[in-house]
């Protein structure tokens, strides 16, 4: 087997992005630098399995994502889940990505620590690391809340050696602390309902899009 070309590593940052906000963009940009992987692919889900349906349509969420990454070569969008009419299971998306990029390149599935807290409710969650490494980023206001089974699983998959991670395709949980903005889409939707200012929460073009389309009122 030839030496792995670690430049082929692929990083996915999934979410509902209802709407995408500056917290998402900052963390995606910082992840690209921290992991040394570009581009980071923002992957909006179509039909989320763990929460209420999004307020904005798939097309609107995609438009806002496109506006938010414009001019940033380190970010891209993976739009395959958002086109789906059936509920999205991350493991199926990872399987598809793995088939596309081959068996050797590392895949990083990047999630906030709030998402790691309940990853044990995901479909076939213990098999996720057969396809990827999980990168969990600490999120403000979201303390660790792991079930005993998840605690055990994290500690048996934990790695702190990023270089080694990049040389293997999958299998580990890597936790990192990157500075995050204390912003959430829920807070933004509430602010819009109450006609509060959105300054410093969203990219300007996304604010304009929301206003033009009268979203989240």
Binding site for ligand ATP (CB under 6 A): 15-18, 23-24, 27, 111-112, 114-115, 139, 180-181, 183-186
Question: 8 or 213, CB closer to ligand ATP?
Answer: 213
70: phi > 0 → left, psi -120 to 50 → alpha, else beta; which?
Answer: beta
Question: How far apart are alpha carbons 13 and 27 in whole angstroms?
Answer: 9
Question: 40 or 165, CB closer to ligand ATP?
Answer: 40
The 8-class DSSP code of residue 88 comes to -
Q: Which among 147, 120, 135 is positioned nearest to 172, based on CA atoms?
A: 135
Inter-CA distances, 64 with 85, 110, 144, 190, 209, Å: 20, 20, 30, 18, 7
Position with the least CB separation from ligand ATP: 112
Please report how close the Cβ of residue 119 comes to ligand ATP at its closest, in angstroms.
10
Tokens, residue 40:
């980071």
Question: How far apart are alpha carbons 121 and 205 in whole angstroms?
Answer: 35
Tokens, residue 85:
């009419």
Question: How far apart are alpha carbons 63 and 84 in whole angstroms?
Answer: 16
Tokens, residue 214:
């009268």
Give the full edge-to-edge strand order of the sheet including 10-15: 75-77, 40-44, 10-15, 107-112, 133-137, 173-176
Question: 4 or 138, CB closer to ligand ATP?
Answer: 138
């Amino acid at each position: 087997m030839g030496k792995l070309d670690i430049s082929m590593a692929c990083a996915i940052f999934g979410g509902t992005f209802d709407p995408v906000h500056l917290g998402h963009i900052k963390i995606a940009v910082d992840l690209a630098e921290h992991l040394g992987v570009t581009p980071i692919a923002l992957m909006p889900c179509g039909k989320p399995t763990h929460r209420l349906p999004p307020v904005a349509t798939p097309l609107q969420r995609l438009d806002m994502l496109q506006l938010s990454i414009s001019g940033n070569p380190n970010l891209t969008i993976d739009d395959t889940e958002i086109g789906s009419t059936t509920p999205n299971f991350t493991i199926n998306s990872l399987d598809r990505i793995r088939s596309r990029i081959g068996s050797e390149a590392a895949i990083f599935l990047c999630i906030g620590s709030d998402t790691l807290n309940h990853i044990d409710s995901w479909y076939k969650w213990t098999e996720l690391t057969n396809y990827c490494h999980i990168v969990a980023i600490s999120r403000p206001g979201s303390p660790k809340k792991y079930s005993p089974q998840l605690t055990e699983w994290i500690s048996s998959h934990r790695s702190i050696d990023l270089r080694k991670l990049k040389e293997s395709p999958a299998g580990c949980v890597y936790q990192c602390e990157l500075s995050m903005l204390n912003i959430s889409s829920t807070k933004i939707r509430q602010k819009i309902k109450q006609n509060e200012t959105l300054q410093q929460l969203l990219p300007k073009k996304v604010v304009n899009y929301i206003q033009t389309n009268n979203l989240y009122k």
